[in-house]
Structure 1
Amino acid sequence: MPVVGGGRVMRTLIRGRKADRAAIPHDPAPSRLQYRLNRMWLSPFIRVALIRVLPVCLLIAALGVWGTRPAQIAIMTGWIVDVRASVEARPEFQIRQMSLTGASPVLANAIRERVGLEFPVSWFDLDPEVIRADLATLDAVADVAVSVELGGALRVVVTEREPAILWRRPGGLELLDADGYRVAYIDRRDGRADLPLITGRGGNAAVPEALRLFDAARPLGDRLIALKRQGERRWDMVLTDDQVIQLPETGARAAMERVLAMDGAMDLLARDISVVDLRNPLRPTVRMGPAAMEYLQMTRDFRQGLSVQ
């Protein structure tokens, strides 16, 4: 039995408590914090983020801090310039010639002057789309394709506009294609005597109709000189011997075929007639020439003289 009183009793009590605690079995369950951390670690997303993403982010952040220094920026810029220059100078990236197809000699010279490249030139210094857009502005170019070939050539394939008609305007003569687009300027009519001629303001906007009229007027042959646009609304056919056929705004081809039928039946255009007015299809009229008017007046005077006698 312990003796009550003094320091021996206190030491005995403390030892007894320690012995009681040692007798309690250890609880293997984790704490709440350990449990939550363990659950987070079992998540694939958290595991990948900690093992792969986090180190990469730290490395990028370190490189970003290191690369923002002026000295490092200058070093990296010089390194990039040297690498680019060495790559551009390699033979496989050099363009040594231009291949041009689909263009006439005159247009080909104009294209070469417009491109204005001195070969060899680096592949990286060329922008085919910029060259294509620039060449497409040429009047004689209907379509163009520009590409760079691995063999060291700049390939240009051109679809050239074909001149179909001559348009005389106040500023001179222009070659137009079948749609009315300008192909080129020309100084003299006899430079393209094989093409039909149109005149007047707005003639370029009605080229398809003019070509249909020229096609229908083939029976006239060389007698047809030109088509003249009037008021940007209708056509006059100008023939030799100062004859004019005034066509209506609508149904011009049908009206012209009507004149050709009358000419075939009664030699209408072989007579001394200066104007055949078909602007009103329901009431065609003719204007006689000076000789015919003089003869008509003389006939009338003669008839009046006979009636007086």
Structure 2
Amino acid sequence: MRPLSAGRRGSRRGPRRDPAPSRLRYRLNRIWLRPGVRRAVNIGIPSLAALLAGWTLIAQFDARERVVAGYEALREAVVRRPQFQITSIDVPDVSADLAEQIRTAAFVSLPANSLEVDVASVRDRVEALGAVERARVRVLTSGVLEIRAIERVAAVVWRSDQGITLLDQGGTWVAEVDSRLRRVDLPLIAGNGADGHVGEALALFAEAAPLRERVRGLVRVGERRWDLVLDRGQTIRLPERDPLAALGHAVALETGQRVFAREVTVMDLRDPRRPILRLSPYGKEELARIRAQAAGEDA
């Protein structure tokens, strides 16, 4: 019997194994080479397991309450230190009434801890006051909560259906007063919608400076135009457009001819091309008498 050749003996062996890895193994190997995955497996999972084990142990032995209580005690010891205590509130450079309003609006109970006081919220509450334009809040090292406020300056007194109010130059509410006599130093405006035209009203008051001693105030009529009210029941009716020029004309007439020293009750300038003077009953009688006398002399 002939022996098998070497080639034939080798051909009877099984197929040779492919040294290349499988597709799944290749993908898993690529994922493992990522630094984030390796850190998560080597560090993250053990840390999470240790944390869960520790928390379970703490909860099992009822130690969680003791940890929370210890944290609260440590926090209390820190916040109660003297250097963190606020003992007073300082509101400089404002009136006494406004300072009291600011202290109330700040809503900080003394003594307070500076770590627990939200200065931004305090500032917002202070700036919500109508009499405060802007405010700055800070805690000083001396234990003082300093609130510096820019006070709105009242420019006019506004009388409306809702009462008597002080307004600044922009028409913003400043304060309420119970009587006009509280601020006789300020000009008076009245009527619905007058608060929206404070700047124009102040310009008219400035134009009427030669009549300052006789001016009683400005009245907004129909939310469209102004009437300048003088003493002795006299009124200057101003037009809707360009009231400043019309008032300047009226002041010039009064300065040159003393119109309001006569029996004039109304100077109507609503139509600048045709000003109208309205006389009092006595003035009308005197005018009729003068005309009749002039007519008799002419006859």
The answer, yes or no, to whether TM exceeds 0.5 is yes
Q: CA RMSD in A?
A: 2.9
Alpha carbons of structure 1 residues 92 and 274: separation in structure 2 relative to 1, 3 Å: same
Q: Which runs of no fewer than 5 residues in structure 2 stay unpaired?
A: 1-17
What letter is aligned with 1:193?
A: V
Alpha carbons of structure 1 residues 114 and 304: separation in structure 2 relative to 1, 3 Å: same
Highest Rg: 1 or 2?
A: 1
Q: 2:42 aligns with which of 48, 51, 69?
A: 51
CA contact (8 A) 2:107 2:122 kept: no
Alpha carbons of structure 1 residues 223 and 63: separation in structure 2 relative to 1, 3 Å: same
Alpha carbons of structure 1 residues 294 and 97: separation in structure 2 relative to 1, 3 Å: same
CA contact (8 A) 2:93 2:148 kept: yes
Q: Provide the residue aligned with 2:272 in structure 1.
A: 281
Q: Provide the residue aligned with 1:8 in structure 2.
A: none
Alignment deviations for residues 122-163 of structure 1 (CA, whole Å, 9 cap, x no partner): 224322222222222322111112223344221211010111
Larger displacement relative to structure 2 (165-174 or 230-239): 165-174
Q: Provide the residue aligned with 1:156 in structure 2.
A: 147
What letter is aligned with 2:171?
A: G
Matched, 1:166 2:157: yes
In the TM superposition, residue 302 of structure 1 has moved relative to its aligned partner by 4.1
Matched, 1:257 2:248: yes
What letter is aligned with 1:246?
A: R
Q: Provide the residue aligned with 1:146 in structure 2.
A: 137
More helix by share: 1
Alignment deviations for residues 167-197 of structure 1 (CA, whole Å, 9 cap, x no partner): 2234542221111122222233333222111
In the TM superposition, residue 45 of structure 1 has moved relative to its aligned partner by 4.1
Q: Provide the residue aligned with 2:3 in structure 1.
A: none
Matched, 1:119 2:110: yes
Q: Which runs of no fewer than 5 residues in structure 1 stay unpaired?
A: 1-28
Matched, 1:271 2:262: yes
Alpha carbons of structure 1 residues 266 and 38: separation in structure 2 relative to 1, 3 Å: closer
Q: Provide the residue aligned with 1:239 in structure 2.
A: 230
Q: Provide the residue aligned with 1:293 in structure 2.
A: 284
Alignment coverage as a number of residue pairs: 279
Q: Provide the residue aligned with 2:199 in structure 1.
A: 208
What letter is aligned with 2:248?
A: E
Alpha carbons of structure 1 residues 254 and 42: separation in structure 2 relative to 1, 3 Å: closer
Alpha carbons of structure 1 residues 284 and 90: separation in structure 2 relative to 1, 3 Å: same
In the TM superposition, residue 304 of structure 1 has moved relative to its aligned partner by 6.2
